[in-house]
């Protein structure tokens, strides 16, 4: 028994896969009872076995199970939980769900519905960032009315520009524009894509940065006005807006730039009264200028690299914040130690990146000093086709970047998954690349690398 009172008696985890397990494990440490929810496709999943209770919430289709708010709230009601953790994806950034949870007199383990709304709309998030003095690329202050206004704005900004969905985020509804002729062609298509993806076709225009790095600041803010930044993650290694590899710290930042980015992220959090853990994304230009992109109001897939270099358990921190506790750390306690990498191992064909579900017929997971595997699969587990294809995250921590590279190479060599195809061979290739090992990469790295 711990001497400290648990933040909650019992919580429900509205998610599946590795993040559901990660949250259950944090709850066991905190002596919080857990309720898992699962679709009929996940009956044999580890999160179902590891939780104290488990409730089936519907058929395989995410819409009818992990996105089914009423099903999840009913499960919360019948099991008598005090709070719901949404994990990432699914309902994690759904303001309506966060509000429903609150209306049911339960605690949403995450930011307020108002926080989610403020950051979910990208033009509103930009306005909040600008107000807070966060550096931004030149762009329109709000959505443009039509192609004429977009052309006018782009002439002022100077080509190339990028069209982005105001309701967007991630990689959908973005078009690079090199001339007014491109705008005539692309505006309509971009708007339609945005409307299909987000139910809103509004677009805004921003100066396009050709060779940026994607660097994001982890923040944690409690309900008492305490806020810290926990360094950055470099997530530039992406393919079609899917991150493949993340590292902390970024190999290009100086302590001064890190501090400036951290303080900018905190200024934004303060301006929206943010409470929970969160991530502020920046583009970092080749001259190391940084610019606000968007804020993610959830725990992210790549949170472990930050945990490894800061020693802060972000899931436990997130749960304690939701319970009204104070942050366990002060800014002066945040000292970055060593270097961490994460690779996402997906059940995909490494040639085509097409999902590759099926039964795992042999599994060997690497281990050792500084090696961590966050996963939910086991030998003979059948990877189902209904959800994200990520089956494991391999995370390493070394005393410096070179040691972390060596550990990752070793761990990848040792990793065996038989019966299904995985992205492990791609990671082995990337960690053998001199360019990657020397940190000479931008968000363009993968497209160029895979062509060779
Ligand atoms: C940009 C950009 C260059 N300049 N904005 C892509 C996803 C969305 N979050 C924003 N994205 C970008 N916005 C300006 N003004 C380049 C990208 C971008 C990108 C960003 C991060 C990681 C990978 C990327 C791949 C292509 C484009």
Structure token digits, residue 184:
């005539």
> Tokens 């990432």 identify what position?
88
Taking only the tens place, the pLDDT of each residue in 433-450 is 999 999 999 999 999 998
> Mutual orientation of helices 147-157 and 180-198 as an angle, nearest 10°?
120
Three-state SS string over 358-373 comes to EECCEEECCCCCCEEE
**Best substitution site from 212, 213, 449 to test ligand 1's pocket, by max atoms within 8 Å of Cβ?**
212
CA of 346 relative to ligand 1 center, distance in Å: 22
Residues forming the active site: 298
Tell me what pLDDT residue 170 has.
73
- For residue 214, give the ligand 1 atom closest to its CA: 21
Tell me what pLDDT residue 4 has.
86
Report helix, strand or coil for 310: helix
Q: Tell me how far apart the alpha carbons of residues 368 and 247 are, in angstroms, rounded to a whole number.
A: 19
Q: Tell me how far apart the alpha carbons of residues 142 and 205 are, in angstroms, rounded to a whole number.
A: 9
Q: Which of 147, 174, 150, 151 is nearest to 163 (CA)?
A: 174
CA 151 to chain centre: 33
338-363 burial, b at 16+ Cβ within 10 Å, e below that, comes to: bbbbbbbbbbbebeebebbeeebeeb
Q: Which residues pair with 165 in a beta bridge?
A: 203
Percent of the chain having pLDDT more than 70?
Answer: 100
> Mutual orientation of helices 314-322 and 17-30 as an angle, nearest 10°?
70
Tell me what pLDDT residue 206 has.
96
Percent of the chain having pLDDT more than 90?
Answer: 89
CA of 205 relative to ligand 1 center, distance in Å: 13
Q: Which residues pair with 382 in a beta bridge?
A: 359
Q: Which of 231, 406, 252, 417 is nearest to 329 (CA)?
A: 231
Report helix, strand or coil for 306: helix
What is 93-127 written as a DSSP string? T-HHHHHHHHHTT-EESSS-HHHHHHHHSHHHHHH
CA of 287 relative to ligand 1 center, distance in Å: 17
Q: In which band, very low, low, confident or very high, does the pLDDT at 184 lie, cut at 50, 70 and 90?
A: confident
**Best substitution site from 158, 178, 214, 447 to test ligand 1's pocket, by max atoms within 8 Å of Cβ?**
214
- Cβ–Cβ < 8 Å for 176, 208: yes
CA of 13 relative to ligand 1 center, distance in Å: 31
221-247 burial, b at 16+ Cβ within 10 Å, e below that, comes to: bbeeeebbbbbbbbbbbbeeebbbbbb
- Cβ–Cβ < 8 Å for 319, 82: no
The whole-number average pLDDT for the span 291-304 is 98
CA of 5 relative to ligand 1 center, distance in Å: 44
31-35, 147-151, 309-313, 363-367: least confident range? 147-151
Residue 78 CB burial class (10 angstroms; 0-12, 13-18, ≥19): exposed
Q: Which residues pair with 216 in a beta bridge?
A: 233, 281
- For residue 169, give the ligand 1 atom closest to its CA: 9
Asked if pLDDT for residue 298 goes beyond 80, the answer is yes
Report helix, strand or coil for 443: coil
Asked if pLDDT for residue 155 goes beyond 70, the answer is yes
Pick 186 or 86 by higher pLDDT: 86
Taking only the tens place, the pLDDT of each residue in 80-135 is 999 999 999 999 999 999 999 999 999 999 999 999 999 999 999 999 999 999 99
Tell me what pLDDT residue 219 has.
99
- Cβ–Cβ < 8 Å for 79, 55: yes
> Mutual orientation of helices 113-120 and 95-103 as an angle, nearest 10°?
170
Tell me what pLDDT residue 183 has.
84
Q: Report which protein residue has its CA nearest ligand 1's atom 3.
A: 209
Taking only the tens place, the pLDDT of each residue in 347-376 is 999 999 999 999 999 999 999 999 999 999
**Best substitution site from 136, 171, 172, 193 to test ligand 1's pocket, by max atoms within 8 Å of Cβ?**
171
Asked if pLDDT for residue 185 goes beyond 70, the answer is yes
Q: Report which protein residue has its CA nearest ligand 1's atom 25.
A: 443
The whole-number average pLDDT for the span 322-328 is 98
Structure token digits, residue 289:
């200028």
Pick 331 or 201 by higher pLDDT: 331
Q: How many helices (H) and strands (E) does the chain have?
A: 15, 20
Taking only the tens place, the pLDDT of each residue in 38-70 is 999 999 999 999 999 999 999 999 999 999 999
Q: Which domains does the chain have, with CATH numbers?
A: 10-109 (3.40.50.20), 138-207 (3.30.1490.20), 213-449 (3.30.470.20)
Mean pLDDT over each residue of the chain, to the nearest integer: 96
The whole-number average pLDDT for the span 169-177 is 85
Q: In which band, very low, low, confident or very high, does the pLDDT at 1 lie, cut at 50, 70 and 90?
A: low
The whole-number average pLDDT for the span 377-396 is 98
Tell me what pLDDT residue 180 has.
85
- Ligand 1 — pocket residues by CB below 6 A? 137, 162, 170-171, 174, 206-209, 212, 214, 238, 241, 283, 293-294, 443
The whole-number average pLDDT for the span 212-227 is 98
CA 283 to chain centre: 16
CA distances from 175 to 102, 178, 296 (A): 37, 10, 21
Q: Tell me how far apart the alpha carbons of residues 124 and 135 are, in angstroms, rounded to a whole number.
A: 15
Q: In which band, very low, low, confident or very high, does the pLDDT at 74 lie, cut at 50, 70 and 90?
A: very high
Q: In which band, very low, low, confident or very high, does the pLDDT at 177 lie, cut at 50, 70 and 90?
A: very high
What is 358-425 written as a DSSP string? EE--EEE---STTEEEEE---TT-EE-TTS--EEEEEEEEESSHHHHHHHHHHHHHH-EEESS--SHH
Report helix, strand or coil for 171: coil
CA of 55 relative to ligand 1 center, distance in Å: 39
């Amino acid at each position: 028994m711990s001497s400290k009172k648990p933040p909650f008696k019992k919580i429900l985890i509205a998610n599946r896969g590795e993040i559901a397990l990660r949250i259950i494990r944090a709850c066991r440490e905190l002596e919080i009872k857990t309720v898992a929810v699962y679709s009929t496709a996940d009956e044999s999943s580890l999160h179902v076995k590891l939780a104290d209770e488990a409730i089936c919430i519907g058929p395989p289709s995410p819409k009818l199970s992990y996105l089914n708010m009423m099903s999840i709230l009913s499960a919360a009601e019948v099991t008598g939980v005090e709070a719901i953790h949404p994990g990432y994806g699914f309902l994690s950034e759904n303001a309506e769900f966060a509000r429903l949870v609150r209306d049911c007199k339960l605690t949403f383990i995450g930011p307020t519905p108002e926080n989610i709304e403020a950051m979910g709309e990208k033009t509103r998030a930009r306005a909040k960032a600008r107000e807070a003095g966060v550096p931004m690329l030149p762009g329109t202050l709000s959505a443009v009315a039509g192609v004429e206004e977009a052309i006018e704005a782009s002439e002022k900004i100077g080509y190339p520009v990028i069209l982005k969905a105001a309701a967007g985020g991630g990689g959908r509804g973005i078009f690079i524009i090199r001339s007014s002729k491109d705008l005539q062609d692309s505006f309509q298509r971009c708007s339609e894509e945005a409307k299909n993806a987000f139910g809103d076709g509004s677009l805004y225009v921003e100066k396009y940065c050709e060779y940026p790095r994607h660097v994001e600041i982890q923040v944690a803010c409690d309900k008492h006005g305490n806020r810290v930044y926990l360094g950055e993650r470099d997530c530039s290694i992406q393919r079609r807006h899917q991150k493949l590899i993340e590292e902390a710290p970024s190999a290009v930042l100086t302590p001064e730039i890190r501090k400036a980015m951290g303080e900018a992220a905190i200024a934004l959090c303060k301006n929206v009264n943010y409470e929970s853990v969160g991530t502020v994304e920046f583009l970092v230009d080749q001259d190391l200028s940084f610019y606000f992109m968007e804020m993610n109001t959830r725990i992210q897939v790549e949170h472990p690299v930050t945990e490894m270099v800061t020693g802060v358990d972000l899931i436990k921190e997130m749960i304690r914040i939701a319970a009204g506790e104070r942050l366990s750390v002060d800014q002066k306690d945040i000292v970055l130690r060593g270097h961490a990498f994460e690779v996402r191992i997906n059940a995909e064909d490494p040639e085509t990146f097409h999902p590759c579900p099926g039964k795992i017929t042999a599994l060997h997971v690497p281990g050792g000093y500084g090696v961590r595997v966050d996963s939910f699969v086991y030998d003979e587990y059948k990877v189902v086709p209904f959800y994200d294809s990520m089956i494991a995250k391999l995370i390493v921590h070394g005393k410096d970047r070179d040691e972390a590279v060596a550990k990752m190479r070793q761990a990848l060599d040792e990793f065996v998954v038989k019966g299904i195809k995985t992205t492990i061979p791609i990671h082995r290739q990337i960690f053998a690349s001199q360019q990657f090992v020397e940190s000479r990469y931008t968000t363009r790295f993968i497209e160029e690398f895979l062509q060779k």
